[in-house]
């Protein structure tokens, strides 16, 4: 099994409004999917190689920033970085809107229209994953699959409103 991966994810949502039952379920599914398969590699710092994984990841939103707090499975802290939510705001907003359209379409529209909305939803999801990969550059390396799953989890962390 790949050592450069996330093996445990915890969410610190103490600084955001309480999540609905639906959002809690979305988080559980996103975490499950992410833990099933992911690639997460930390670069070395100051000429030293990064500790090898697997890693435990604590995700939080603090002071309007997305926090990645990373440790080894044994609990040794190996890194923490904070990402501005600004670059994610529009793509997350678009993603929430297209998801709402998709759920409405499933109830009433023919399959061809549902498929078109789903393709748009996937495109926005991919855009969010690319944004995350760009924001993680130099901090952590993730493949597209992992970035997509992490973006889903980030969306489930950001309060809709």
pLDDT at 69 over 70: yes
Q: What pLDDT band is residue 15 in, cutting at 50, 70 and 90?
A: confident
Convert the pLDDT of each residue in 21-53 to its tens digit.
877 888 888 899 999 999 999 988 777 887 788
pLDDT digits (tens, 9 = 90+) for 92-117: 899 888 888 888 888 999 989 989 98
HEC letters along the chain: CCCCCEEEEEEECCCCCCCCHHHHHHHHHHHHHHHHCCCEECCCECCECCCCCCEEEEEEEECCEEEEEEEECCCCEEEEEEEECHHHHHHHHHHHHHHHHHHHHHHHCCHHHHHHHHHHHHHHHHHHHHHHHHHHCCCCEECHHHHHHHHHHHHHHCCCC
pLDDT averaged over every residue in the chain: 89
pLDDT score, position 44: 81
Q: How confident is the model at residue 13 (pLDDT cuts 50, 70, 90)?
A: confident
Reported pTM: 0.88
């Amino acid at each position: 099994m790949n050592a450069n991966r996330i093996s445990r994810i915890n969410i610190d949502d103490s600084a955001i409004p309480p999540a609905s039952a639906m959002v809690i379920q979305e988080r559980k599914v996103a975490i499950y999917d992410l833990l099933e398969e992911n690639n997460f590699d930390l670069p070395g710092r100051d000429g030293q190689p990064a500790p090898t994984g697997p890693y435990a990841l604590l995700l939080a939103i603090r002071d309007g920033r997305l926090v990645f707090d990373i440790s080894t499975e044994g609990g040794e802290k190996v890194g923490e970085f904070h990402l501005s939510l600004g670059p994610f705001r529009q793509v997350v907003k678009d993603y929430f809107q297209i998801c709402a359209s998709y759920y409405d379409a499933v109830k009433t529209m023919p399959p061809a229209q549902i498929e078109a909305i789903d393709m748009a939803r996937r495109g926005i999801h991919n855009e969010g994953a690319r944004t995350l990969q760009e924001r993680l550059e130099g901090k952590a390396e993730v493949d597209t699959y992992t970035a997509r799953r992490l973006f889903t989890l980030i969306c489930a962390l950001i309060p809709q409103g």
